[in-house]
């Protein structure tokens, strides 16, 4: 199905599986909303509307996953849909193109880590990449319901004045507020960090040497102002044609 069915407010029941070769590995509830960019996932969201149970099956394709894993996710989703029957819909979701309905399942925020399971599709010599002991998350979004925390390289050059960052460097934990970051981003980055310990909050322009040391030293980073609006930016479709001899 290309579109979404009537959707609830995200208060339904969620089950998630992570693709490993041809197997579905259950994801624990405490890890719901966390994804590895090298993997694919199946999300089963169950909800009730007017006393009727509905199922929404979303298969998420990580940007660094391979076509074999994506194919397995699609096939397993079809199999699950056949088993459930009834009011069941399936939707493919690609990393970076998560629609509002997908985000609603996770309370409007998701965390994306580098790495993932090694796959037989990758060939010999690979190894699993779990969450590292030191990493940096870039937190960005225009509203509370569309905030994404994405792992980037742990270095100062990856900072951006328009966003917030959660920095885990061994035993040290920082939350860096970009000068032009939004209140939504600041609030979510603080809550993400709070789950990992007691963070040190750093405002752009007031960093100390200990902070820069965790990032390997100072570097230039993106600090130009971008347009930030409260509203979302829905996609638009344009039809272009030169059928009349004039391009329109």
pLDDT in tens, 194-207: 999 999 999 999 99
Residue ranges of the chain that CATH labels 3.40.20.10: 13-118, 134-214
CA atoms of 89 and 70, how far apart (whole Å): 18
Mean pLDDT of 213-223: 94
Q: What radius of gyration do the chain's Cα atoms show?
A: 20
CA atoms of 119 and 69, how far apart (whole Å): 8
pLDDT digits (tens, 9 = 90+) for 4-42: 555 556 678 999 999 998 899 999 999 999 999 999 999
Amino acid 4: pLDDT: 54
Scan for tokens 């344009």, then name that residue.
238
Instruction: Name the β-bridge partners of 20.
Output: 23
- Planar angle of CA 172, 38, 113, nearest 5 degrees: 20
CATH number given to 13-118: 3.40.20.10
Picking from 115, 112, 104, the residue whose alpha carbon sits closest to that of residue 149 is 112
Amino acid 39: pLDDT: 95
CA atoms of 211 and 17, how far apart (whole Å): 37
Picking from 185, 37, 24, 4, the residue whose alpha carbon sits closest to that of residue 104 is 4
Picking from 62, 67, 58, 64, the residue whose alpha carbon sits closest to that of residue 92 is 58
Mean pLDDT of 45-52: 88
Residue 82 vs residue 226, higher pLDDT: 82
pTM given for the model:
0.83
Exposure on the CB side of residue 127, measured as CA atoms within 13 A = 2
**Would you identify the CATH topology of the domain 134-214?**
Severin (3.40.20)
Q: How confident is the model at residue 143 (pLDDT cuts 50, 70, 90)?
A: confident
């Amino acid at each position: 199905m290309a579109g979404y069915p009537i959707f609830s407010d995200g208060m339904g029941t969620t089950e998630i599986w992570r693709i490993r070769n041809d197997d579905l590995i259950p994801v624990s509830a405490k890890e719901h909303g966390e994804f590895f960019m090298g993997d694919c996932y199946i999300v089963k969201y169950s909800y009730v509307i007017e006393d009727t149970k509905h199922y929404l099956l979303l298969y998420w394709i990580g940007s660094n996953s391979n076509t074999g894993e994506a194919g397995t996710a699609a096939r397993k989703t079809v199999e699950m849909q056949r088993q459930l029957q009834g009011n069941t819909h399936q939707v493919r979701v690609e990393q970076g193109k998560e629609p509002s309905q997908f985000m609603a399942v996770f309370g409007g925020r998701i965390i994306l880590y580098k790495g993932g399971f090694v796959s037989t599709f990758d060939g010999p010599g690979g190894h699993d990449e779990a969450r590292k002991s030191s990493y940096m998350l870039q937190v960005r979004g225009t509203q509370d319901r569309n905030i994404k925390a994405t792992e980037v390289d742990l270095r100062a050059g990856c900072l951006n004045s328009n966003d917030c960052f959660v920095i885990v460097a061994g035993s040290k934990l920082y939350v860096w507020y970009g000068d032009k970051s939004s209140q939504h981003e600041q609030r979510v980055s603080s809550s993400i960090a709070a789950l990992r310990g007691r963070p040190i909050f750093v405002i752009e322009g007031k960093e100390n040497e200990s902070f820069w040391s965790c990032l390997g030293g100072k570097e230039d980073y993106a600090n130009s102002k971008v347009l930030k609006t409260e509203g979302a930016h829905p996609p638009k479709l344009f039809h272009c044609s030169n059928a009349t001899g004039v391009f329109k």
